[in-house]
Amino acid sequence: MVNATAFGMSGLVLPLFVWFVAIYQDYELNEAELKGIAAVEFTGFLTLFVMGLWHTIDNTFGGAVSLLFTAIPLLYGLLWLIAAIIHWYGADMKPLGVVALVQIPVQLLLIVGLFAVGAPISWGIVVDLLIYAPFTLAGFYLFTHGYMMPAAKRYTGWISLLATIATLHVMFVGSGIIGPILPGI
């Protein structure tokens, strides 16, 4: 049975991996390739947006937990929408980095909220959310603000790959295909 988490994460895997390849391989992207990346980023937005709505309508986890699982995908969905628009039109990417930087404390507060409401999740999912929060979002900031020295580029590329793996973990655990690797909270 398909559920909201599996659906949302399946669409998030692709843009994260595309970012890893594009950043780490140091591709010089032409206009057509940027529009291709924008289309991939838009799929991330769509699936995360549907995931957020699905959690709200279905109330999968009940009350506050479902709202948190709505807020987190919508934060990232809007980030991918901004990325898609910027890449499609070839605009300055700095606003994307600023939005990512602002999302770091918001994401960390949402993670604290999961603890506060006693969310029925495993520590593995919390680790995945922590990978997204300070590390992936900081990578977005570094990349969009021109910090492309070798260390920052490697960091951003590898963090994108690590976030891809974390997304696969969330997808398989969240859908119930595999059980949690780490114990519950």
Decide if pLDDT at 57 tops 50: yes
Of residues 102 and 122, the one with the higher pLDDT is 102
Tens digit of pLDDT for each residue in 71-94? 888 888 888 899 899 889 988 888
| Mean pLDDT for all residues in the chain | 78
Rg (alpha carbons) of the chain, rounded to whole number:
16
Alpha-carbon dihedral angle through residues 137, 142, 145, 146, given to the nearest 10 degrees: -150
Amino acid at 39: A
Nearest to 37 by CA among 55, 22, 49: 22
Decide if pLDDT at 19 tops 80: no
Q: How far apart are CA 173 and CA 179, in angstroms?
A: 6
Decide if pLDDT at 161 tops 90: no
Tokens read off for 136: 């992936």
Decide if pLDDT at 45 tops 90: yes
Lowest mean per-residue pLDDT among 5-19, 66-80, 118-132, 156-170: 118-132
Nearest to 174 by CA among 5, 2, 1: 5
Tens digit of pLDDT for each residue in 25-38? 666 677 888 888 88
Contact 163, 132 (CB under 8 A): yes
Which pLDDT score, from 0 to 100, does residue 1 have? 38
